[in-house]
Structure 1
């Protein structure tokens, strides 16, 4: 019988060697740099970046064990500068006593502010400690460049269902640390369901398995975990979705690019993923309206109205009823003709507005509501377009005098912009004729 039954199954089953570690083959496969470093005990500072339950803490512990180094851990949520200094002092004493290197493992290192990161940077530089950080957020945005430059970043991936199934099987068979001595019966298809429900997180998979085993015993089923127990345990499970974090922006990017790429099915999938993960539907409504202007534009002006209506429906009905309107809008956008002509034109015009500064409005374009303004030439020789042939003042100039006439808007040859393009070409031909060009 294991003496540590009070410890969670996920903690008891933490791999003790590389041979027990499941997943991350891109880092730990034969000949891969991280595996070679671990096997040879080559110490260097590093950052493990990946979703929860992918083995960041475990790898840090394995690193310390294989290198025979002291392992000290800090939580960036709880630790302050005082705690950092205490850990550094302990590392210095350890090296003086037996010459052993100390690995300072900082969990959730993205929570450290700049002052906290700066506090231990000198001790990383002089070798007092080896820094190993774990983060679920993009280190490029969360860690100081000085710290990043002294640590190698390893990207851990969410575990696939096959790896999670192997971890579940391992826990069910292990008699020393797992559930093997309890003789748990769990059908293969139910093991697969737990693996899928864990959504890439080994810790979650083992927690679900342990809860299911305990629940089965509590309900008098002994060691047999049936479908009803599994359903109860995995009900209400949430997918990996970090509001405001890396996964959040990756998914909204995938939704936007699927719309732009005219893939209604993929766009629906990413919309459903974000809603399923708890994203605010009104945030999605705002982003969908943006897509209508940025990627469809005047190729189909109805897209913007439809998206605004979808936003209104979501605001009025709430979820889940309003979500169908968002889905309708996303599918419409994905299927609509695409044009970023207005988006590109507006960016270019904005750049010129900054470049040229506060140029004067030409006199002929100014209103002249007073006699003095008329005497000063305001509105003089302005050509009222409705009085011109075809309702167009051919050859007229509307840009500031000090600025060259610039063509920003180039309609694409798709959707309504086909007609807009033809009209603008006809009007420009009239301008050239009127100017004798």
Structure 2
């Protein structure tokens, strides 16, 4: 047990110990219901590394008391699958976590299918790939597909503290104390990857000598070394992480290229490529948006290049994106428009989709009047004709409020207004 990594030892023994993924394992949610009803079915879990796919499989097995086995679709053979199948015949049911299921070949797949259908093997496939694109339809049709989402910083913090306190499986016997700024950095620097966080924590504890009082004191510099990521600041509350990201977006929004370069340089120095990529994508669409769609597209391309290159070369396309976004015309009109539409949706009570807009591609739709009076715009000059699209109670609602901060957005604004005027005239 001592030789097994901390992340392995801390795997949840039941659903209650799973960190995060409340949308799947929380009270009343789908996997929780399966376990409670003892009606397990094969499933595919997909999401980023270190977010809990193996943990969920382990917790399902622990909660149901079924045997739990782990294989890799790429490296383990058909013979390994046969061993699991034989065990399932003896014990009744085996929960099999099959990692990298997107790499399952046809021979192994054909062997697994009858065992999945009989229920002897509850297959839990794990993958970082989109299963709708990467997994064979024969497997996909026999399994439910669930997305495993990145863990929140609070989820990571809970798991870290649990590992620090657990004397049986964790680090509780080491008398270790994790400084607040060290904990913050461990949470932030691992970007939702719990496995990386626990690996860094275990290395820090086991490689640090106790002080004169017998306490292993884990400081920020130690965590920086064990996770190989520098902290943005050493402030006590860890706010520097958010402050720098906030300053980067505000500098670009305010068109200060030099300030934006300075703040992105701090993120680069900290090695936060994932954070930079995500934030620049948000900035491109939120703050530049329809004022300069070409700049948005170029920024996304630059971010993709940075992710493919990695540091240190990634700094070059990042700099290109930051400078162009900072100097570009700005508009948040699309961002505010979708928020206005969402506000209406969340308030509810706006009536049904108009009958003309309803799906008519099924038997009986015509009797219900669905889609009967829909007019096909492409059959008319200019590929347009006035007809009602919004529900009755929302007729005339204007969500998009164009700003016209560039020739591009002004052209969109002119077309938008022209179509709104023609629509209102045509419907009255």
Preserved CA contact (<8 Å) 2:18 2:59: no
Preserved CA contact (<8 Å) 1:77 1:111: yes
| Secondary structure, counterpart of 1:132 in structure 2 | strand
Is 1:193 the counterpart of 2:185 in the alignment? yes
Matches within 5 A, 1:24-173: 24-79=21-76, 83-84=77-78, 86-98=79-91, 100-113=92-105, 116-173=108-165
Q: What is the rounded CA distance, in whole Å, between the counterparts of 1:18 and 1:419 in structure 2? A: 54
- TM norm structure 2: 0.58
1:236-262 alpha-carbon deviations (Å, 9 max, x no partner): 379xxxxxxxxxxxxxxxxxxx9xxx9
| Secondary structure, counterpart of 1:73 in structure 2 | strand
Measured after TM superposition, the shift of residue 115 of structure 1 is 5.6
Matches within 5 A, 1:35-434: 35-79=32-76, 83-84=77-78, 86-98=79-91, 100-113=92-105, 116-217=108-209, 223-236=216-229, 276-277=272-273, 320=315, 323-333=318-328, 335=330, 415-416=406-407
1:58-77 alpha-carbon deviations (Å, 9 max, x no partner): 22122223333333322123
Measured after TM superposition, the shift of residue 224 of structure 1 is 1.3
Q: What is the rounded CA distance, in whole Å, between the counterparts of 1:217 and 1:338 in structure 2? A: 56
Structure 2 CA distance for partners of 1:327 and 1:184, relative to 1, 3 Å: same
Measured after TM superposition, the shift of residue 54 of structure 1 is 1.9
Structure 2 residues without counterparts, runs of 5 or longer: 232-248, 307-311, 335-379, 385-401, 413-428
1:135-181 alpha-carbon deviations (Å, 9 max, x no partner): 11211111122322211122221111111111111111111111111
Is 1:21 the counterpart of 2:21 in the alignment? no
Measured after TM superposition, the shift of residue 189 of structure 1 is 3.2
Bigger shift: 146-155 or 125-134? 125-134
Structure 2 CA distance for partners of 1:223 and 1:144, relative to 1, 3 Å: same
Structure 2 CA distance for partners of 1:115 and 1:295, relative to 1, 3 Å: farther
| Secondary structure, counterpart of 2:224 in structure 1 | helix
Structure 1 residues without counterparts, runs of 5 or longer: 239-257, 340-403, 422-437
Q: What is the rounded CA distance, in whole Å, between the counterparts of 2:116 and 2:17 in structure 1? A: 30
Query: CA RMSD of the aligned region, Å?
Result: 4.7
| Secondary structure, counterpart of 1:175 in structure 2 | coil
Q: What is the rounded CA distance, in whole Å, between the counterparts of 2:87 and 2:314 in structure 1? A: 58
Match of 2:7 among 10, 13, 23: 10
Q: What is the rounded CA distance, in whole Å, between the counterparts of 2:10 and 2:27 in structure 1? A: 23
Structure 2 CA distance for partners of 1:229 and 1:42, relative to 1, 3 Å: same
1:184-224 alpha-carbon deviations (Å, 9 max, x no partner): 02223322221112211211111111111123229999511
Q: What is the rounded CA distance, in whole Å, between the counterparts of 2:56 and 2:119 in structure 1? A: 20
Q: What is the rounded CA distance, in whole Å, between the counterparts of 2:168 and 2:320 in structure 1? A: 54
Preserved CA contact (<8 Å) 2:49 2:193: yes
Structure 2 CA distance for partners of 1:279 and 1:106, relative to 1, 3 Å: same
Q: What is the rounded CA distance, in whole Å, between the counterparts of 1:47 and 1:334 in structure 2? A: 44
Preserved CA contact (<8 Å) 1:213 1:225: yes
User: What is residue 391 of structure 1 aligned with on the other side?
Assistant: none
Measured after TM superposition, the shift of residue 44 of structure 1 is 0.7
The number of residues matched between the two structures is 307
Q: What is the rounded CA distance, in whole Å, between the counterparts of 1:15 and 1:196 in structure 2? A: 22
Structure 2 CA distance for partners of 1:202 and 1:325, relative to 1, 3 Å: closer
Bigger shift: 222-231 or 162-171? 222-231
| Secondary structure, counterpart of 2:209 in structure 1 | helix
